[in-house]
Every structure is written in structure tokens, then in C-alpha cells.
Amino acid sequence: MTFTRWTFAATLAAGIAMALPASAQIKVALDSPPDLEGSGSYVWAHAFVEHLNANGFEAEEYQRGALGGDDELFDQVSQGLLEVSMSPLGITGSLDNMIYGLRLPYFFDGMEEVDRALYEGGMLEKINEGTTPQGVRVLAVNTVGQGSGIFNSKKPIEKVEDMAELRMRALDESQIELFKAWGATGTIVSWAEVPNALQSGVADGYLNPPVVPLLFGHTDFLKYFTDAEITPSLRITIVSEDWYQGLSEDDRKIVDDAADAANKANREWLAGQASVYDKLKEAGMEITELTEEARAAFLEASQPAYESGLLEPEKIEAWRTAKGG
């Protein structure tokens, strides 16, 4: 038998499940260090687990990497082998691309608009229309900090022209296209390989919220940060649709209430993150604020991202309507 990624995921998850007592049925795979001060994703996960455990469930946090990488966790969730995973925003894009509206540059003006689109405008339901038939439910969208900015090891970025000659770590091909539109180049690097890529010069920087280099120890390699607020900094919580639908109505309400409590804790955490800029400066980071003119130039240069096929025009318009303009 060929030992594929799928069989690895199934074997790993089944082995873990057999090793656990029968009562410990809800495994929550973390995607960041368990830091309630620095990690918005962990704030969400911890509040979720605490609410479940206080209401009759037995839920347990699993450290980042303990159950596999992002792709393995996604496979396990889709197969019903893992209940809950804190995951990258775009992990469900292979099932349906509606979620990519959250990655459009300069489209949202903060988390208030994101929440309005998701929870009042019905976009979370639309995302799940494409993913739940394939075994994965997006239970929530989580903020991991202020809007994404530009980190690099080479020079201050004050205008879009300064991106020339930089080689940026990219999440995927769509981000490579964005860097190209800015005059830079991109290379896809897994998160586990980012420190080595920064040290070796394979990549000069990345797009991330201000807290990320502090949380993952990258301030030794990165020296410049431009507070460009390109997109909201988001992760998602995915759950097994088989598990979710297999709950009783009362238990499903407890899970939904736990997600609401976790959303509240996560947004309250974000409101207290202003001090992260001081921490970056203390770590030796030089911070650049874009002028309005420079921000407008970045926005104009980003337009190809709207036309590259990342998301169909009618879906972009659905997001625009849902967020309120």
C-alpha cells in the first residue's frame, strides 16, 4: 500500500484517538504558540475550549504541529478524524474560493467591516455553502492582529517603488502576482521554513500583522516594518462537518455559543494591541507609516489582484454589498 499524505493523516489521527480516553472527544489543533498576550488565534482557541469545558464537553488543545501540518489537519477535518483546527485563511480555497474575498488588498476598513460582511451580510453562510458539502465547516474567522504590513530585512518601504528588488515570501501564486504588481518578486515558502529563508536570503521579508515577528522570533532577521494595512490579518477555525452535524441540537448550540464567546474574546484582545508597535521598536525594528499619497499608490498598484481571477467579479460584488459599500 502506498503511504500517502492521506493515509498518514488517517493513521496519525486514529492513533491519537485510540490513545485518548473516550470522554476526550474534542481535539482543537492550535496554529500558534499558546500565548494569550501575543496570539489572537490562541485567544480564540482558548476561549472556545474553556466555554466547551464549562458546559459539559471535554475539549483539549493540541500544540501547533502535534497533529500534523496545515494540510494534514485540513485532511483530517474533512475526513472527520479531527474535530477542530485553527487554520490559514485560504486553506478551504481548494473547496470553494468565496473566502478569498477576505484577502483582497485594501478592500476592508478594519474588523468591523469584516464582521459586518460575515455575520450580518451572510458571507459566512455563503462560504459554508461551498465547503460543508465537502466535509469542512468554517466555524469562525479570527483576527490575529492589526492589518497586514510589509516586513523586510533590506530597507524602509515608504512608497510602492521601494518594493523593487525585494524577494518576498508568498503564501501562494495569488500573492506572488500581488508582489509582481508592486514591482517585487515572490517565492512560496512554508511557514516552518520561513526563519531559514530569511536567514539565507531566499526571502527578504513577508506580509503579516505587526505581532507575528515577535510571536515567532523573527526580529533577529527582519529590521523594517511598513504599517501598510493591506488586508485584515485573519485565520479561520474549521470543524468537521460530520462531527458538527452529528451533535444533538443542544450540543450544537453549545458549540455555536462557544464560537460566539471566542469571537468576543478575540475582538477584545485586538482592541488592546496598540502596544505591539512599541515592542517592535524595542526589538530594533524601524517602523514606517505610509502617507495618504503612498497608500493610494499601493492601492492603485494592487488592482491586478482584483482582475487576476482570484475571485470572480460577481463574488467580489457580493462581498462589497455585504460589508456595506
Mean of pLDDT over the chain = 90
Positive/negative CA dihedral, 250, 53, 60, 268: positive
What's the confidence (pLDDT) of residue 15?
A: 46
Superfamily name with CATH number, domain 149-231+276-323: Bacterial extracellular solute-binding protein, family 7 (3.40.190.170)
DSSP three-state, residue 124? helix
What are the structural domain ranges in the chain? 7-144+234-271, 149-231+276-323
Parallel, antiparallel or unpaired: strands 84-88 and 185-188: unpaired
User: Taking 50 as the threshold, does the pLDDT of residue 123 lie above it?
Assistant: yes
Q: How many residues does the chain have?
A: 325
User: Per-residue pLDDT averaged across 172-198, rounded?
Assistant: 92
- H-helix or E-strand containing 5? helix 5-19
Indicate if 149-231+276-323 has the same CATH topology as 7-144+234-271: yes
pLDDT tens column, 277-300: 999 999 999 999 999 999 999 999
Superfamily name with CATH number, domain 7-144+234-271: Bacterial extracellular solute-binding protein, family 7 (3.40.190.170)
C-alpha 169/C-alpha 190 separation (Å) is 9
What's the confidence (pLDDT) of residue 17?
A: 40
* Of the candidates 91, 64, 68, the residue with the CA atom closest to the CA atom of residue 7: 68
Torsions phi, psi for 161 (to 5 deg): -65, -25
User: Per-residue pLDDT averaged across 146-153, rounded?
Assistant: 94
H helix and E strand count, the chain:
14, 11
User: Taking 90 as the threshold, does the pLDDT of residue 21 lie above it?
Assistant: no
User: Taking 80 as the threshold, does the pLDDT of residue 78 lie above it?
Assistant: yes
User: Taking 80 as the threshold, does the pLDDT of residue 108 lie above it?
Assistant: yes
User: Per-residue pLDDT averaged across 83-98, rounded?
Assistant: 93
Least-confidence region, from 124-133, 136-145, 306-315: 306-315
Percent of the chain with pLDDT over 90: 77
C-alpha 228/C-alpha 151 separation (Å) is 10
Cβ distance 92 to 109 under 8 Å?
A: no
User: Taking 90 as the threshold, does the pLDDT of residue 6 lie above it?
Assistant: no
pLDDT tens column, 34-53: 999 989 999 999 999 999 99
User: Per-residue pLDDT averaged across 174-184, rounded?
Assistant: 91
Least-confidence region, from 4-18, 101-115, 162-176: 4-18
What's the confidence (pLDDT) of residue 309?
A: 61
pLDDT tens column, 208-259: 999 899 989 999 999 999 999 999 999 999 999 999 999 999 999 999 999 9
User: Taking 60 as the threshold, does the pLDDT of residue 171 lie above it?
Assistant: yes
